[in-house]
Structure 1
Amino acid sequence: MTASQFDCQYCSASLLGKKFMLKDGNPYCIKCYDRVFCNYCEECKEAIESGSKDLCYKGRHWHERCFNCAKCNHSLVEKPFAAKDERLLCSECYSNECSSKCFHCKKTIMPGSRKMEFKGNYWHETCFVCEHCRQPIGTKPLISKENGNYCVRCFQKEFAHYCNFCKKVITSGWITFHDQPWHKECFLCSGCRKELCDEEFMSRDDYPFCLDCYNRLYAKKCVACAKPITGLRGAKFICFQDRQWHSECFNCGKCSVSLVGEGFLTQDKEIFCRKCGSGVETDI
């Protein structure tokens, strides 16, 4: 390289006896090199001059003194770190900010440690325990109540109801009949075995019956319409001697006027208002 070739590639100043930098095989004086090629620090926005250490991460650059945790400001030089939303965080700050918190102890579940998830919440494995026996539940079956989670054995011991029909443990919703719990699927009509949990039903001798079976087996029949008299939903009916009527069916056999709350006359199996029944022997 001749003396003329040993000039700054940018300003042409002689570099003989001076410090210089090479870029793509070409020499530059320090001032020109810094002006043309230096990177700018992400933190302080100042130039990272050739005499300073340039730390690079994913195309971004920092002075060594500026390469710090965005939260605690401790240096990240030669230390593990992670990026979140373009911020650099030390391992501890990243764990505190980004890792799950234990639902029980409220402490951070550190990355790499085993955590348990249930109903959208997280626990340390050692915190996810049965509320009664305090033994870790892990991946075993559990039953949840308002005050905590229980292993199946403790739940059955402390809280379980037993179905009056099948005598097995009830772990979810049930039907109460005569102060006894029943599985919904076990609460059946004593006649046709139809499920009654979403149906209207009647009781006879402490046994439940669907309306069809109760009406067929036990309900009295209206003298007028021959349909069953159930008394459901506050329906009223009239009894006289050994006969029954729906209240809307208790009408004069001749003029059909309602006899509810009125005096009436009878002849054989017929009932009459006083006007139509004049001359009838029995007066009620």
Structure 2
Amino acid sequence: MPFKVQIDKCPVCDKAVYANEARLCASEKFHKYCFKCSMCAKMLDSTTVANHGVILYCKQCHGKKHGPKGYGFGGGAGALSMDQGERHGNVESEMGNKPTEVHVGAATACVKPEDGGCPRCGKRVYDAEKVIGAGWGWHKNCFRCKPCNKSLDSTTCTDKDGELYCKSCYAKQFGPHGKI
């Protein structure tokens, strides 16, 4: 009686996967080079993979595509970003409460925040210089408290109506007032 061998097929490329090249996820076997994020194409391993059925994602892209939407969600700084995933077909995460204009004095090349502009100076913010706060990308030099001009970071930043404040200035302007 002949012996029949079961050969698994990769869900990505539908070709045979042999034991020496198999990567296992969700009870499926993948080729080493097919074991990558379906959105950003980053190569994955057992610590960085997140799956949705047999579709593989890195943890950041999985959070963008299938995680909770809105400010404050995403499981850490890796999942929070200004990238909404439009280039990958993800339009569900689009937030509708963004400001529509940036009012900048005499700036000639204003770029709206939703088009990649800094809310403070109106100039384009590139990824290498981007600091994220109040739902927008800012230049590091523009990421300062409005009243006192103190440089901010994620632990000292508070926002109100699209403007940035240090915790001290925010408490002075918007905190409770009265007699003790």
TM range, smaller chain? 0.3 to 0.5
TM-score (norm 1): 0.29
Greater relative CO (CA pairs within 8 A, separation 6+): 2
More helix per residue: 2
Higher Cα radius of gyration: 1
TM-score (norm 2): 0.40
